Amino acid sequence: MSTPTFAVAIMAAGKGTRLKSKRPKVLHEIGGKALLLHVIAAAKQVVRPGDIYVIVGHEADKVKSAVSAEGTHFVLQAEQRGTGHAIQQVKAFFAASDITPPDHLLVLSGDVPLIRPETITAIRDFHLAQDASMTILTAVPEDPTGYGRVIRREPGSSEALAIVEQKDLKPEQRDTPEINSGIYAFRTASLFTQLDKLNANNAQGELYLTDVASLLVGSGEKVVALEATGGVDEVLGANTIAEMMYLDEAMRMATARRLMAQGVTIFRPETCVIDSSVQVAADTVLEPFVQLLGNTVVGGDCRIRSYSVVQNSTIGERVILRNGCILDQATVANGAILGPYAHLRPESHIGEGAHVGNFVETKKVTLGKGSKANHLTYLGDAVIGSGTNIGAGVITCNYDGVNKHQTTIGDNVFIGSDNALVAPVTIGDGAITAAGSIITDNVPAGSLAIARSRQETKPGWADERRSRLKKN
Ligand code: UD1
Ligand code: CA
């Protein structure tokens, strides 16, 4: 006998009415990533992307474009008439295509985002070992309200008789503690046979996939339930913003624990917001209220002080981010010191050992090794060499109202305080510009440029004025 084939269907067509949001439910984010992307990522650990069928409907184009890079198939459920109706579309999809349906179909919910690949594998293996027509993944949460309940044949039996939705529970079923996770394995042929028998005679007037359980039992087929072993959070659904934020916290705490296990110190981890994709090396210290987002990578022996927000950036080793730094698509080389309150906008490249201090904003800037811009400065569209000092209050005037222009500053340059560097302009190696200068012309290497009027001093003028005003 050849190994049975498996495919995964992910139900993601629903609107998410309970969210009261314009955005489709499966595109809401936890841990910095859309719910559906979490589910697809887990499924991809178990089957090839070409064996994943994402069922889309509400805002189908938006959902598709958000996950199109994942390489899955899409099945359209134009009208959303329930989870059973969603899977009917998968059956129709196979009928209309020349793809052979798999022997077994794993069904995942797009709004059950913490599901782990290990659990998907466990339900697959249990399903095969039991030779079941349907296997239901279950859990026993503290509060089962809102979930469908799994009715076992008898307590302790692996066999299930039915799934009853919360709104359809009979009084004597209200205490059933075991919930349906919305994750299942089906023998495809058995599932497809029962799908045509579904009806909408229930509290929500929908075609429930959950009714397939009792239909199969009625046809003498085997339905089993498997309780998830990885903790209840893994199978919780995200139907409301509050539920999503609970899962977001659970996911971020798991990320913080992973980093701590790798040698990262995180003070008050519950206050930090760290996306699951973030990497941090050992001996780096994160202070409370730090946010590390997107594809951020932080090297070892760094210290990131409170209230810094780092997004899609790469930070080397031994870097210090003082309080309140904001980084977006920036790179920071080893030993650099930033902040407090430095703002690195996209394409800022800060060199080894460089300093970017208080209230300094950078954009499309390369700051060379050991260079310093410590106070109240804007550097945009500039290439700055190494060992250069940018005085307090320096501004690159990169924008003429229509176009952006480049400022080029060499090595070991000293830019005086409060200079305006009117781009395009080049300042050569070793040059000095006087404080308060408006630099409009290139400054050759080794020169001094003063671009302000000379000071005039009138001895005694102030005292005379004061006594004149007092007399009147
Ligand atoms: C469903 C189950 C319930 C289970 C719970 C677990 C049914 C009838 N009920 O309830 O037993 O405890 O999940 O989280 O299945 N969807 C579609 N097309 C539709 C309707 C829904 O694709 O026409 C998708 C949704 O986008 C969602 C998933 O199916 O990702 C589940 O739908 P939802 O309405 O959230 O079902 P629940 O009421 O949570
Ligand atoms: Ca749900």
Instruction: Tell me the per-residue pLDDT of 252-264, one tens digit each, with 9 for 90 and over.
Output: 999 999 999 999 9
119 to 45, 183, 319, 340: CA distances (angstroms): 11, 10, 39, 45
Q: How far apart are alpha carbons 354 and 348 in whole angstroms?
A: 12
CA 239 – ligand 2 centroid, Å: 5
CA 220 – ligand 1 centroid, Å: 26
275 touches ligand 1 (CB under 6 Å): no
430: which residues sit within 8 A by CB, 6+ positions away?
410, 411, 412, 413, 445, 446
Tell me how far apart the 2 most distant CA atoms of the chain are, in Å: 115
293 touches ligand 1 (CB under 6 Å): no
84 touches ligand 1 (CB under 6 Å): no
What class is the 255-449 domain? mainly beta
Mean pLDDT value of segment 283-290: 98
**Closest C-alpha residue for ligand 1 atom 37:** 147
Q: How far apart are alpha carbons 37 and 461 in whole angstroms?
A: 74
Task: Quote the distance between the C-alpha of residue 339 and its chain's center.
Answer: 25
Residue 205: pLDDT over 80: yes
CA 147 – ligand 2 centroid, Å: 8
Q: Cα angle vertex 423, ends 420, 425, to 5°?
A: 95
Task: State pLDDT tens for residues 90-140.
Answer: 999 999 999 999 999 999 999 999 999 999 999 999 999 999 999 999 999
65: which residues sit within 8 A by CB, 6+ positions away?
none
138 touches ligand 1 (CB under 6 Å): no
Q: Which residue has the higher pLDDT, 1 or 193?
A: 193
DSSP state string for 38-53: HHHHHHHTTS-GGGEE
Q: How far apart are alpha carbons 107 and 47 in whole angstroms?
A: 12
**Closest C-alpha residue for ligand 1 atom 22:** 13
* pLDDT band for position 2 (cuts 50, 70, 90): confident
Q: Which of 85, 97, 95 is nearest to 57 (CA)?
A: 85
Nearest-atom index, ligand 1, CA of 82:
23
For β-strands 149-152 and 160-164, DSSP reports them as: antiparallel
Q: Which two tokens stand for residue 135?
A: 């296997």
Q: What percentage of the chain exceeds 90 in pLDDT?
A: 97
Mean pLDDT value of segment 263-269: 98
Domain boundaries, the chain: 6-235, 255-449
Residue ranges with CB less than 5 Å from ion ligand 2: 111, 237, 239
Task: State pLDDT tens for residues 9-60.
Answer: 999 999 999 999 999 999 999 999 999 999 999 999 999 999 999 999 999 9
Instruction: Give 3-state DSSP helix, strand, coil % of the chain, rounded to 5.
Output: 25, 30, 45
Q: Residue 43 corresponds to which amino acid?
A: A
Contact 167, 204 (CB under 8 A): yes
C-alpha torsion angle, residues 464, 466, 469, 472 (rounded to 10): -80
Q: What is the pLDDT of residue 1?
A: 61
225: which residues sit within 8 A by CB, 6+ positions away?
135, 136, 137, 138, 150, 152, 158, 159, 160, 178
Q: How far apart are alpha carbons 206 and 199 in whole angstroms?
A: 7
133 touches ligand 1 (CB under 6 Å): no
Q: How far apart are alpha carbons 435 and 375 in whole angstroms?
A: 14
Q: What is the pLDDT of residue 471?
A: 87
Q: What is the pLDDT of residue 255?
A: 95
Q: How far apart are alpha carbons 225 and 262 in whole angstroms?
A: 36
Contact 380, 386 (CB under 8 A): no
Nearest-atom index, ligand 1, CA of 14:
26
Among 3.90.550.10, 3.90.75.20, 1.10.10.10, 3.40.50.300, name the CATH number for the domain at 6-235: 3.90.550.10
Residue 251: pLDDT over 70: yes
| Cross-strand partners of 10 | 54, 108
Q: Which of 396, 399, 402, 401 is nearest to 383 (CA)?
A: 396
CA 106 – ligand 2 centroid, Å: 17
For β-strands 285-286 and 420-422, DSSP reports them as: unpaired
53 touches ligand 1 (CB under 6 Å): no
Q: One fold for both 6-235 and 255-449?
A: no
Any alpha helices (H) in 21-147, and if so which ranges? 35-44, 60-67, 83-96, 117-130
Mean pLDDT value of segment 419-444: 98
Residue 472: pLDDT over 80: no
Contact 436, 453 (CB under 8 A): no
Q: Which two tokens stand for residue 76?
A: 């359209």
Task: State pLDDT tens for residues 321-348.
Answer: 999 999 999 999 999 999 999 999 999 9
Q: Residue 270 corresponds to which amino acid?
A: E
Question: Mean pLDDT over all residues of the chain?
Answer: 97
